[in-house]
């Protein structure tokens, strides 16, 4: 059978998303809406579909961004491409089509970080055989997207899911219920309070937070079309926790979490996760992704508490194959790899100084 490929426009938006929702490897970060969100932060989205007998068999959303100062673009397929990667002929066809666009745009490289476990050694072998090189950074949560996550099969009934959790996790869920913590679906009017609590969280845990407008964009782009949901945790009439979840097809992801410095003893974070799991089940989801945790950490690591919290829900600790770059312009890529970390460190240093100055 012959494959046919084309870069699509808004007229095939719904068809593109439907394929992602139905595919085993479909991911919300490949959705049409995600490309639109990123387009408002300096990226240019390109969407490719590959058909066989007029049926879509592969799809990818490519994000293009120009490197600061020099203005040369890079390509990034976040959690893509979406296809049966074992079909190497199809994968090769997709890579050829992306390369054609890369030539036209002058792209330095294509970065991919497939939603595939590191246990799938055949994929790594395939990527190497096609000229990809590992692009592991070893920083933070190990990449642009987390390399290590906890994933929970939520197809069992609620009683079984609770029984499978660690005893302390079950206890804290019930404690929050007993203390009167209330979890509800948030509305757009709740965004300011969610962001307030999120800023408390980031200041307490010493990490950066995006501007409020970004979360407005996330809500407006994803929640009304059923690709996201905001959850609010309240205690004694006050917002003390909030989360933002993404969903597509039968998969849901916990993306952002916030908890107030006040009333942490009533354990809202445990109950809000349980209510998100219940929400995902109500949509027919079978997979709940707790997202990033650090890799290979010990109990003395400052982030071990995050690992222990997510582990308590009995998810499977999953390591992905990580980031891989297919280089189109080797010399420029060499310069990028050596200069980009310096640029990032300088920018982060400036942002940190500005924030400390505002607080001081």
Q: Under DSSP, is residue 57 helix (H, G, I), strand (E, B) or coil?
A: strand
- Based on its alpha-carbon atoms, the radius of gyration of the chain, rounded to whole angstroms, reads 21
Which residues does residue 58 pair with via DSSP β-bridges, in sequence order?
A: 50
Nearest to 229 by CA among 253, 204, 205, 206: 253
| Structure token pair of residue 54 | 């007029």
Element housing 129 (H / E) = helix 121-129
Checking 349-355 for CB contacts under 8 A at 24+ apart, the result is: 351/208
State the maximum Cα–Cα separation within the chain, in Å, rounded to a whole number: 66
Please identify which residue in the block is written with the tokens 């079984």: 160
Cα–Cα dist 352/202, whole Å:
13
Length of the chain: 360
Q: In a structure prediction context, what are the per-residue pLDDT tens digits for the chain, which is 360 residues long?
A: 699 999 999 999 999 999 999 999 999 999 999 999 999 999 999 999 999 999 999 999 999 999 877 789 999 999 999 999 999 999 999 999 999 999 999 999 999 999 999 999 999 999 999 999 999 765 544 458 889 999 999 999 999 999 999 999 999 999 999 999 999 999 999 999 999 999 998 888 777 889 999 999 999 999 999 999 999 999 999 999 999 999 999 999 999 999 998 898 999 999 999 999 999 999 999 999 998 877 766 777 767 778 889 999 999 999 999 999 999 999 999 988 877 655 455 444 544 554 454 444
The residues near 294 (Cβ < 8 Å, ≥ 6 apart) are 141, 142, 148, 301, 303, 306, 307
Cα–Cα dist 27/39, whole Å:
18
Cα–Cα dist 16/264, whole Å:
42
Nearest to 163 by CA among 322, 360, 314, 356: 314
Q: Which domains does the chain have, with CATH numbers?
A: 4-139+321-359 (3.40.630.30), 155-285 (3.40.630.30)
């Amino acid at each position: 059978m012959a494959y046919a490929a084309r870069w699509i426009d808004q007229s095939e938006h719904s068809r593109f998303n439907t394929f992602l929702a139905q595919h085993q490897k479909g991911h919300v970060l490949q959705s049409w809406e995600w490309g639109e969100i990123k387009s408002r932060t300096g990226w240019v989205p390109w969407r490719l579909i590959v058909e066989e007998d007029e049926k879509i068999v592969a799809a990818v959303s490519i994000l293009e961004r120009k490197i600061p100062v020099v203005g040369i673009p890079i390509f990034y397929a976040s959690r893509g491409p979406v296809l049966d990667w074992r079909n190497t002929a199809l994968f090769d066809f997709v890579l050829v089509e992306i390369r054609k666009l890369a030539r036209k745009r002058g792209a330095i490289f294509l970065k991919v970080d497939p939603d595939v476990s590191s246990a799938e050694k055949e994929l790594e072998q395939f990527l190497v055989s096609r000229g990809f090189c590992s692009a592991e950074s070893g920083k933070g949560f190990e990449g642009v997207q987390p390399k290590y996550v906890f994933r929970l099969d939520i197809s069992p009934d609620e009683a079984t899911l609770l029984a499978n959790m660690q005893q302390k996790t079950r206890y804290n869920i019930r404690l929050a219920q007993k203390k009167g913590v209330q979890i509800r679906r948030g509305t757009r009017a709740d965004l300011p309070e969610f962001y307030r609590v999120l800023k408390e969280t980031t200041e307490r845990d010493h990490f950066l937070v995006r501007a409020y407008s970004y979360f407005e964009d996330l809500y407006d782009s994803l929640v009304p079309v059923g690709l996201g949901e905001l959850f609010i945790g309240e205690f004694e009439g006050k917002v003390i926790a909030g989360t933002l979840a993404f969903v597509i097809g039968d998969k849901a992801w916990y993306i952002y979490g916030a908890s107030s410095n006040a009333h942490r003893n009533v354990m809202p974070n445990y109950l809000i996760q349980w209510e998100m799991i219940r929400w995902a089940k109500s949509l027919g989801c079978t997979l709940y992704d707790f997202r990033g945790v650090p890799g290979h950490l010990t109990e003395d690591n400052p982030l071990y508490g995050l690992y222990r919290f997510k582990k308590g829900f009995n998810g499977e600790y999953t390591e992905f194959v990580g980031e891989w770059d297919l280089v189109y312009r080797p010399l420029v890529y060499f310069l990028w790899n050596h200069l980009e970390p310096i640029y990032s460190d300088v920018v982060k240093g400036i942002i940190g100084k500005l924030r400390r100055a505002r607080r001081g």
